[in-house]
Chain A
Amino acid sequence: MNIVDYSTQFTLSTDDIKQTLLSSKSWEEKYRSLMLLGKKIAPYPVEWQRQEFQVQGCESNVWLQHEWKENRLFLAIGSDAKIVKGLIALVLAAFNQKPADQIKDFDTQAYFAELSLEGQLSPSRTNGLHAIVTQVMALVANR
């Protein structure tokens, strides 16, 4: 399995995400939906669960790999926690297979605010979302 093949299995758009999460009526339903979104990501291969791919600053294990192809960023992000996987689905919908400029211009803060999940983005949270987004932005900036 290569990164590009793996990452193209994920097809949800930010509109799909919004539609799913904004229709939930309680926090329980929302977290359930979030975890179900996480299940839409193909299982992250065991052979990629290596320390060198680990994202620092997460309470759970998070691994991130990427590849640029035709100016698009192909992402493979895995975690062993269900809620974090859900948050990763949100990140993938926004950034996966997108061109550098589009990622740079994407208003991550507003996106998570619209989903009423802006609290999850805070650097003081240990879910790792902040670290994942920071790492993706760094990939674009350092390209």
Chain B
Amino acid sequence: MTIRQQFPFFTQTDTVYLDTAATSQKPQSVIDALSTFYSCQNSNVHRGSYQSANQTTSLYEQTREDVARFINADAPENIIWTSGTTAAINKVSRSLSHTFDKDDVIVVLGSEHHANFVPWQQLAATKQLRFEVVNVLANGDVDMTHFRQLMHLKPKLVCMQHCSNALGNIHPIERLVEEAKSSGAMTLIDGAQAVAHLAVDVLDIGCDFYVFSGHKMYAPTGIGVMYVSPNAAPKLLPSEFGGEMISVVTKQNTNFRPFPHFMETGTPNISGVIGLSAALEFIQSDEFQRAQKSEAKLYQYMLDKLSALPNVKLVGNRERNIGVASFYINNESNADVGALLDQQGIAVRVGHHCAMPLMTALGLAGTIRASLGVYNSEMDVDRFIDALSKTIELLDI
């Protein structure tokens, strides 16, 4: 069975799916894990005194260990479940809010997804902090000179994407974190786009927080991960309240359980965690790793074909990239291109990709984004290029 055959989506449709940066398709093993859970194992975690509850709890906690190993975290206690990257970032922002004083500085990259931009901008507005945005170069990379200037401001927190969702650029995150740390800042890395494409080692990166979503790495939607370094953990306060996170509740007062327990309240997304477990197994399989290696070749193939088309303007760093071709067509509206590609069964993303500050900095209204996943083939790229040529031809009226 080829990797592609493990994805039932492709047996239902002949759509050319080039929108993995938005969400990946799910392999049969992940779908089976969800189905088995609800058919045979469904019970709540941590509470049951009966066998199936205990089995589910151990599967659930085992996944925490697997995730910790996957990103080389110190221990499973440093892994917090969230509903996704956006929720994780918002949660860090609320849990850290008390550490900020007026005029403290928060720095983000100019190429951030709104999820790692707006929460910090809002926190800054509420607490009268300075919110600083690092300039981007013409290819969307970090302007290192400006980054270093901002580090002189001694920011309290620096929040950075590992890879650009709009362009696919892989940022030199280890170096950025090192420089941020030496200026005394805490660091948060948005790894949403990275985890399905790169081997992530949070100890090596040295960040305080690393957050990502399951659904972009072949797992279900609604499950995400927040890694908290042992250094950062004592700075967090509970930001959501309810069951599970408490030790004693009286009419007058509540005592919270210690970290990490106070970070998770309410019944968690158990099936999501179990689906994530299956996705981790899939990603770590030899088969996936082999297929992943050919992704770079397929990416180059797509870039070469795109560059050969008239009026196609590619944007972004194509040397260090996770397989995203972001482009526009001279004098054509992206919406028109997207609509005509859709007519031909090509699924791409069109617009600002939730990165309006980046598009503004690049002087673009948006781009057309074709992003690769492990299931894509040269045939997909060929069909996409044929459809795009036809689109360009049709728009020339």
Contact = CB atoms under 8 A, between A and B. Distances in A.
B343 A84 contact: no
B390 A82 contact: no
A81 B365 CA distance: 12
A84 B350 CA distance: 15
Interface in B346-397: 350-351, 390, 394-395, 397
B335 A31 contact: no
A35 B335 contact: no
B45 interface: no
Interface in B313-353: 332-336, 338-340, 343, 350-351
A126 interface: yes
A80 B397 contact: no
B333 A31 contact: no
Contacts of A84: 333, 335-336
A126 B366 CA distance: 14
Given A80-B333, A81-B336, A59 B395 contact: no
A81 B394 contact: no
Contact of A59 (B338, B343, B397): B338
A83 B397 contact: no
Interface string A67-96: 000000000000011111000000000000
Contacts of B394: 28, 31-32, 35
Interface residues of B, number: 15
B335 A81 contact: yes
Given A31-B343, A82-B332, A82-B395, 20 more contacts: A31-B394, A32-B394, A35-B397, A36-B397, A59-B335, A59-B350, A60-B334, A60-B335, A60-B336, A80-B333, A82-B333, A82-B397, A83-B335, A83-B336, A83-B339, A83-B340, A84-B335, A84-B336, A127-B335, A127-B339
Nearest to A62: B335
A31 B340 contact: yes
Contacts, number: 43
Contacts of B340: 31, 83
A36 B28 CA distance: 46
A interface residue count range (under 10 / 10 to 19 / 20 to 34 / 35 or more): 10 to 19
Contacts of A83: 335-336, 339-340
Contact of B395 (A35, A39, A60): A35
Contact of A39 (B333, B339, B397): B397
A129 B338 CA distance: 16
A59 B351 contact: yes
A39 B396 CA distance: 12
30 contacts: A27-B343, A28-B390, A31-B340, A31-B394, A32-B394, A32-B397, A35-B394, A35-B395, A35-B397, A39-B397, A59-B334, A59-B335, A59-B338, A59-B350, A59-B351, A60-B333, A60-B335, A60-B336, A80-B333, A81-B336, A82-B395, A82-B397, A83-B336, A83-B339, A83-B340, A84-B333, A84-B335, A84-B336, A126-B351, A127-B339
Nearest to A84: B335
Interface in A15-44: 27-28, 31-32, 35-36, 39
A30 B334 CA distance: 19
A81 B333 contact: yes
Contacts of B336: 60, 81-84
Contacts of A126: 335, 351
Contacts of A32: 394, 397
B210 to A, nearest CB: 33
A80 B336 CA distance: 9
B329 to A, nearest CB: 12
A83 B390 CA distance: 15
Interface string A34-59: 01100100000000000000000011
Contacts of A58: 335
Contacts of B343: 27, 31
Contacts of B334: 59-60
Contacts of A59: 334-335, 338, 350-351
Top-8 shortest CB links A-B? A81-B333, A60-B335, A59-B335, A81-B335, A81-B336, A82-B336, A83-B336, A83-B339
Nearest to A80: B333
Nearest to A38: B397
A80 B350 CA distance: 15
Among B333, B340, B343, B390, residue most surrounded by chain A Cβ atoms (within 10 Å): B333
A106 to B, nearest CB: 25
Contacts of A82: 332-333, 336, 395, 397
B261 to A, nearest CB: 41
B129 to A, nearest CB: 29
Nearest to A79: B333
Contacts of B390: 28
A126 B395 CA distance: 19
